[in-house]
Amino acid sequence: MIFEGLSNNIQKIVSKLKGQARVTEKDIKNIMREIKLALLEADVNFKVVKEFIAKVSEKACGQEVITSLTPGQQVIKIINDELVELMGSEQSRLTFSTRGITIYMMVGLQGSGKTTTSAKLANLLRKEGKKPLLVACDVYRPAAIKQLQVVGSQLSIPVFTKDTKDVVNIAKDAIEHAKNNGNDLVIIDTAGRLHVDEELMQELVNVKNAVLPQEIILVVDSMIGQDAVNVASSFNDKLGVDGVVLTKLDGDTRGGAALSVAAVTKKPIKFIGVGEKLNELEPFYPKRMASRILGMGDVLTLIEKAQESFDLSKAEEMEKRIRENQFTLEDFLEQFQQIKRMGSFTKILEMLPGVNTSMLKDVNLDDKKILQVEAIIKSMTKKERLDPDIINASRKKRIAMGSGTKIQDVNKLLKDFGDMKNMLKKMNSMSKGFMGGKFSKFGFNFGKKKF
């Protein structure tokens, strides 16, 4: 989970402030000492921690209490504001060329996830109407070109390659190819090394001077902790990067890199990698991330994921079937599949306000259960999905064998479906007798954007 350790520690600390009618200077010092330790444990750069604590302490001790807030809430607000400032204040968007083709140059050390991130970025920008071309300029790492071709093929995004070691020549020819084939976006996947060296940097400088990229994007593995700051600083000094992508943030429970890179380099974090799938690249929002660290959730990201994953026309059809008590196992399966497209249950729950990551450890959030539900329903005939009442013992045995599950699993699914159908039926009956069944008057409209 992103920032799990840091989030848990800070939430425990700030919970001591909530509801306090009076906060003394001694209380502030004690809280700051605990937050300092929490940040250092999260592998945040020491200089960054020192500056952060100084700013919060100064504002917390000298701040007049806002009338609508208790002193405890005011301190929490200050911590939140400084966390946002630490990570870059506002979301930093990519810029696009106003003349011709937009070129992004992806740089970073070997193993940072540069090639996969290039494909993820191309996929993300294609959804915004761009026509991307991926360019394989990593001519040293074994299978690097093949890896880019594979991910490009999975996304149906073209990949430009050339049988030469001259990366400047490859980059120039790729841009000509883009012009001739209607691509308005070129993403160059450059070579990396296991460490920063002069040979690597000179090659990157040569490519930069040859193609004049719109932005140079540094890809950093967040799991390397303190070294992320050193890597970012080195690349920025030599190349002048325009933004950072932090990869593997879902596997880093500390999160020190995210809190340090922007503060030290003064370069914005533009995207974060939150999973291995090619759609798991998200824009980085400092305000939303600070909110998640403090246990306030990230409802805006959750809504965006829902809007992206749920088909409005299908939702309206579903609403109609629910009103007419025609909800079937096929509808049940469709709902599970749409939830799955939003990501894992754990990631969804992390975005809800008030949900502490420590709470989720005792909750059974096995995403394989969704796959099991899919397998069971897909093992049924069309007739059985539309009318589960006909599923007798012999049919259950056949469905269990076909889905690789047990008869008890089939029974549980049928019971869960029955319970849900009864609940929807009761809700429907209540709505008909309450304000003419017009949920929308209260903001509850299943198929629309109202909630």
Which residue did the predictor score with more confidence, 424 or 144?
Answer: 144
HSE of 419 in the Cβ direction (CA atoms, 13 Å)? 6
pLDDT score of 108 more than 70: yes
Question: Which CATH number is associated with domain 4-86?
Answer: 1.20.120.140
Strand-by-strand arrangement of the 132-137 sheet? 159-160, 132-137, 185-190, 102-107, 215-221, 243-247, 269-273, 281-283
- pLDDT of residue 162 exceeding 90, the answer is yes
The whole-angstrom separation of Cα 310 and Cα 339 is: 8
The SS3 of residue 111 is coil
Task: Decide if 88 contacts 117 (C-beta within 8 A).
Answer: no
Q: At residue 273, does pLDDT exceed 80? A: yes
Classified as helix, coil or strand, 247 is: strand
pLDDT at residue 388 greater than cutoff 70? yes
Q: Is the pLDDT of residue 258 over 90?
A: no
Whole-structure pTM value: 0.67
pLDDT at 244: 92
Instruction: Please tell me the predicted confidence (pLDDT) of residue 397.
Output: 94
Q: Does this chain's domain 4-86 share its CATH topology with 102-296? A: no
Residues 6+ apart with CB under 8 A from 68: none
The fourth-level CATH superfamily of domain 102-296 is P-loop containing nucleotide triphosphate hydrolases (3.40.50.300)
Among 19-23, 131-135, 215-219, 422-426, the range scoring the smallest mean pLDDT is 19-23
pLDDT at residue 24 above 90?
no
For the segment 339-359, the average pLDDT, to the nearest whole number, is 57
Residue 180 · residue 206 · CB < 8 Å: no
Domain 303-442 in CATH 1.10.260.30: yes
- Looking at residue 60, its pLDDT comes to 79
Out of 17-31, 226-240, 333-347, 432-446, which region has the weakest mean confidence (pLDDT)? 432-446
Give pLDDT, residue 89.
Answer: 80
Domain boundaries, the chain: 4-86, 102-296, 303-442
- Cα distances from 446 to residues 87, 378, 442, in angstroms, run 36, 25, 12
| pLDDT tens per residue across span 189-242 | 999 887 878 888 999 999 999 999 999 999 998 877 777 888 888 899 989 999
Residue 40 has pLDDT above 80, yes or no: yes
pLDDT value at residue 16: 75
Residue 435 confidence (pLDDT): 42
More reliable by pLDDT, 449 or 321: 321
- Of 67, 126, 135, 66, which is closest to residue 105 (Cα–Cα)? 135
Answer yes or no: is pLDDT of 351 > 80.
Answer: no
Q: What CA–CA distance (Å, rounded) separates 151 from 161?
A: 14
- pLDDT value at position 88? 83
- Check whether 188 has a pLDDT greater than 90: yes
What pLDDT score was predicted for residue 75?
A: 77
pLDDT of 440 > 70? The answer is no
Q: Which residue has the higher pLDDT, 115 or 259?
A: 115
Of residues 383 and 274, more confidently modeled = 383
Mean pLDDT (whole number) for 426-437: 55
Q: What percent of the chain stands above pLDDT 70?
A: 75
